[in-house]
Structure 1
Amino acid sequence: MEAAALEVGGQPETYSADLSDLSAVRSLAEAIRSNHDRLDVLINNAGVLKAPQTTLENGLDIRFVVNTLAPYLLTELLLPIIPKTGRVVNLSSAAQAPVDLDALTGKTRLADMGAYAQSKLAITIWTREQARALPDGPALIAVNPGSLLASKMVKDGFGVAGNDLNIGADILIDAALSDRFAQASGAYFDNDGGTFADPHPAALKSEHAADVMKAIQDTTRQYG
């Protein structure tokens, strides 16, 4: 973290939190809000595909916690300081699958790719649902930054070097700052195709989306 701050230059602030622990996410939000009364852009970028221990002590799957629940809770806690003109950019993926509510809430175990794909559709669903609930802003946008980029997760998960990380970094900057995303709240952007697109059809089914949203809200309240 210190090395990254040094590379960025200037005077960046750094915060550290274990995003597999929702109480730590709450503490992170409190620390940020204690130091700032305005946050223009929030990018929920953390992601897990494989882990030595995928089931946490509370029974939840680490993929759903880090990829879906932690960004939801962090966003909710920081919304009071994000202006209506601000943006929340959520990392989705080309890998998406209908969400097993029992898996999301820790009652069922899934293989690595299944948990990852479901967690990514879940974050896409809550992006869409929260955008609908906040029509005046901030803008919430789900982005597939590009498949198989050269991240540690890709290297560990697939054993490949991956594509240039700048592909993903550039689209996140674009989503956070450019005019073409200003009116795109609730949208899903697929950087593999370079265009706005529909997510997995399950996200467009109102009953499935409502069930997933309720499970996310109930689980974050219980454990966060």
Structure 2
Amino acid sequence: MTKTILITGSTDGIGKLTALKLAKAGHQVYLHGRNADKLNSVIAEVKAVAKGAAVDDIDGFVADFSDLNAVRKMAAEVSEKLPKLDVLINNAGIYTTASATTKDGLDIRFVVNYLAPYELTNALLPLLKKSSEARIINLSSAAQAPISYKAFAGQERLADKDAYAQSKLALTMWSMDLAATVAAYDINVIAVNPGSLLNTKMVDEAYGQYWSSADKGANILTELAISDEFANDTGKYFDNDIKDGAHGDARGEFGQPHADALNKEAIAELKHQTQTVLQRLFL
């Protein structure tokens, strides 16, 4: 069955590779990027490999995820264009950047890696509810650390690695809570560590080395998105490092997320702090 799939951050890295794989399999793929010219170039690449009627439906959306107003605008555009959405892959992420603070004074990692997918997903839930078997795949990481809410609110600065790890734990905690929230609508939610130090631009800029191919990440995203193997899995954390300790391309398996992702009190605090920040931004 052909699925309608939206992948954020899909002009580079494993997001782009996943888009190519899904288009080759005949699915309707919608991409996202910050730069319109780059997005259009990748859309053309994806169309060139697409199979079946889906080639006519491949398109994309432009939004800078460091600006939550742009995220909300993109969500409105997606909702206007698509009658339903079967799969949302929240892949867009950032580790290191020349400017670590957004125009609103927040750490860009918390905004791009957590608040943007939070806002986009909640806005697109009506489209996902129209699918008979929707899936939300959230890109977590092996790097996860307890959240400093002073840093989350923009009141203190963190090192790149700390901000990244805290934002990825926030995303994982929210994923576990979201799965319970949307369970009645047959929407599956999975958080996934796609693999440590994959051969991508982000990893190269952050570390200057890699352990595994980018295909390792793209392969698991593709499977989580469309394989019947995962049709009944929700509220789980897939760790793509488990089988070979991150040094290789073997597929991982479901594992235990960070303890805070299963802690109801910690999740309640995250939800409270999230609403506090969003209310401040949008009042």
Q: TM-score, normalised by structure 2?
A: 0.76
Q: Distance in 2 between matches of 1:197 and 1:214?
A: 27
Structure 1 pair 181/221, CA: closer, same or farther in 2 (3 Å)?
farther
Which shows bigger deviation, 168-177 or 81-90? Answer: 81-90
Correspondence for 2:237: 188
Which of 47, 55, 68 aligns to 2:114? It is 68
How many residue pairs get matched?
224
Correspondence for 2:149: 101
| 2:179 match: secondary structure | helix
Q: Say if 2:233 is the partner of 1:175.
A: no
Runs of 4+ in structure 1 off by over 6 angstroms are: none
- The alpha-carbon deviation at position 214 of structure 1 amounts to 2.0
Which of 259, 264, 268 aligns to 1:206? It is 264
What runs of 5+ residues in structure 1 fail to find an aligned partner?
A: none
Q: Over aligned residues, Cα RMSD in angstroms? A: 1.3
Q: Distance in 2 between matches of 1:203 and 1:102?
A: 19
Correspondence for 1:45: 91
What amino acid maps onto 2:195 in structure 1? G
Q: Is the 8 A contact 2:198 2:213 kept in 1?
A: yes
Q: Say if 2:151 is the partner of 1:113.
A: no
Which shows bigger deviation, 206-215 or 24-33? Answer: 206-215
Q: Say if 2:201 is the partner of 1:143.
A: no
- The alpha-carbon deviation at position 207 of structure 1 amounts to 1.1
Correspondence for 1:14: 60
> Larger radius of gyration, structure 1 or 2?
2
Identical-residue share of aligned pairs (%):
46
Q: Say if 2:263 is the partner of 1:217.
A: no
Q: Is the 8 A contact 2:176 2:262 kept in 1?
A: no
Q: Is the 8 A contact 1:142 1:187 kept in 2?
A: yes
Q: Which has the higher contact order (CA 8 A, sep 6+)?
A: 1
Correspondence for 1:54: 100
- The alpha-carbon deviation at position 216 of structure 1 amounts to 2.1
Q: Is the 8 A contact 1:46 1:67 kept in 2?
A: yes
Correspondence for 2:248: none
Deviation by residue 1:152-202 (Cα, 9 ceiling, x = unmatched): 110000011552111101100111111232222111000111111111112
Correspondence for 1:129: 177
Q: Is the 8 A contact 1:73 1:220 kept in 2?
A: no
Q: Say if 2:49 is the partner of 1:3.
A: no
- The alpha-carbon deviation at position 205 of structure 1 amounts to 1.9
Q: TM-score, normalised by structure 1?
A: 0.95
- The alpha-carbon deviation at position 141 of structure 1 amounts to 0.8
Deviation by residue 1:5-43 (Cα, 9 ceiling, x = unmatched): 122112311111000000000000001111112011100
Which shows bigger deviation, 130-139 or 116-125? Answer: 130-139
What amino acid maps onto 1:76 in structure 2? N
Deviation by residue 1:60-92 (Cα, 9 ceiling, x = unmatched): 100000000000000000000113510110000
- The alpha-carbon deviation at position 222 of structure 1 amounts to 3.4
Q: Distance in 2 between matches of 1:2 and 1:77?
A: 24
